[in-house]
Amino acid sequence: MTVSDPVVESVVATISRSATEIRQGLIGRRGTVDEENPSGETQAEADVWADELLGDRLAAIDGVGQYASEERAEIVDCGDDPSSTDAYAVAVDPLDGSSNLKSNNAMGTIFGVYDAALPARGDTLVAAGFVLYGPITTMVIATDELITEYELSGGERTVVDRDVTLPAEPVVYGFGGRVPDWPDDFRAYAREIESELKLRYGGALIGDVNQVLTYGGTFGYPGLESRPEGKLRLQFEGNPIGYVVERAGGRSSNGSQSLLTVEPDDLHDRTPVHVGNEELIDRLEDALA
C-alpha cells in the first residue's frame, strides 16, 4: 500500500527503508558526543548519525523544500521553494528516546510532512508518523485519507492494520516529568486517572504513545512548575503525534487547545503534550482550566 501523494510517498518510503539501517546502526553508537542539540540536551552518537543519514536522503527528494531536525539549530534549504504549493517541509526527530540506548529500551523516529514553511502549525500537516524500534520494527503513517500500521523488515513495509483507530475503552496511561514538579491541577487530574487505568511509561514518547494507540488511554507530558512551556518540541514531536492521534479518532491538547492549532514562534518551541481518548483529554482541559 502506498500514499497517494508521490512526494509524501517518497518521504515515507525513504524513512521506512532507512529504519532497518538505523536500527542496525545503533550497535556501537550507544555513547554520547561532546555537544548539545538546540534544546540543550546532550546528544547521543546515534542521534547525530541518524540525523545525518535521514537529512541527506530526505533533502534529496524532489518536492521537499525544507528539512528540519530536533538535532539541528537551523532549517536546511533543500532547493525547492518551501513557499511553493509544490514543495513540502519535513520535520524529524531522528531518534526519539535516545536516552534509552544505555539501558537498551524502546526508541523511535518521528516525522511530519508540512504543506507550509517551517515553523508551521500542525494543521498544515499532510502526513505524519513514526517508526518504533521495539521487539518488532513497526511504522504508523497518518494522512488525511487513512492511518496505517506496518511491520518493517529488509526495507519493505507489510500492512498490519489498514485503519488504525483508538480503542473506545481506555486501558493505559503514562505521564512524564517528576511528580513533585507537576502543577497542583495536573497532579489532581493524574490521581484520578491512575485510579482508573494501568500505568505504562517507558521514557520514549513513541513507545508510550503506541501503547495508547494499541490499548486506548492517554499520554501526557505536562508543563512543569520548573518548565511551564513543557519539554517536548512542537514541530518535531507535538504536532506529528497530535496529528496521528487525532486521525485515529482521539484528541490532542497543550492543556487548553488542540496541538494542531498552536501558533509556533520558533523552530524549537516546546509545548506540553497530551494525547488520547477524547473524554480523557476533555477532562484534562477541564482540570487545567
Cα gap 104→67, rounded to integer Å: 29
> Residue 31 class from Cβ within 10 Å (0-12 exposed, 13-18 middle, 19+ buried)?
exposed
- 70 is an annotated ligand-binding site residue: yes
Least Cα distance to 68 among 82, 259, 126 occurs for 82
Strands 198-199 and 270-271: unpaired
- 122 is an annotated ligand-binding site residue: no
- 58 is an annotated ligand-binding site residue: no
pLDDT digits (tens, 9 = 90+) for 243-266: 999 999 999 999 999 999 999 999
* φ/ψ of residue 134, rounded to 5: -105, -155
Q: C-alpha dihedral over 10, 14, 15, 20, to 10 degrees? A: 150
CATH number at 6-161: 3.30.540.10
- 99 is an annotated ligand-binding site residue: yes
Which run of H or of E encompasses 112? strand 107-114
pLDDT digits (tens, 9 = 90+) for 206-229: 999 999 999 999 999 999 999 999
- Segments in the chain below pLDDT 50: none
pLDDT digits (tens, 9 = 90+) for 160-192: 999 999 999 999 999 999 999 999 999 999 999
User: For the whole model, what pTM was predicted?
Assistant: 0.94
- 114 is an annotated ligand-binding site residue: no
- The pLDDT of residue 85 is 58
Phi-psi region of 101 (alpha: psi -120 to 50; beta: other; left: phi over 0): alpha
Contact (CB, 8 A) for 65 and 80? yes
- 53 is an annotated ligand-binding site residue: no
Which residue intervals of the chain bear CATH 3.40.190.80? 172-288
Stated length of the chain: 289
Cα gap 281→99, rounded to integer Å: 28
CATH number at 172-288: 3.40.190.80
- 98 is an annotated ligand-binding site residue: yes
- The pLDDT of residue 97 is 86
DSSP SS3 for 78 = coil
Which residue intervals of the chain bear CATH 3.30.540.10? 6-161
- 96 is an annotated ligand-binding site residue: yes
Least Cα distance to 273 among 211, 194, 219, 213 occurs for 219
- 97 is an annotated ligand-binding site residue: yes
Provide the edge-to-edge strand list for the sheet that holds 137-143: 76-77, 64-69, 88-96, 107-114, 125-133, 137-143, 147-153, 156-161
- 84 is an annotated ligand-binding site residue: no
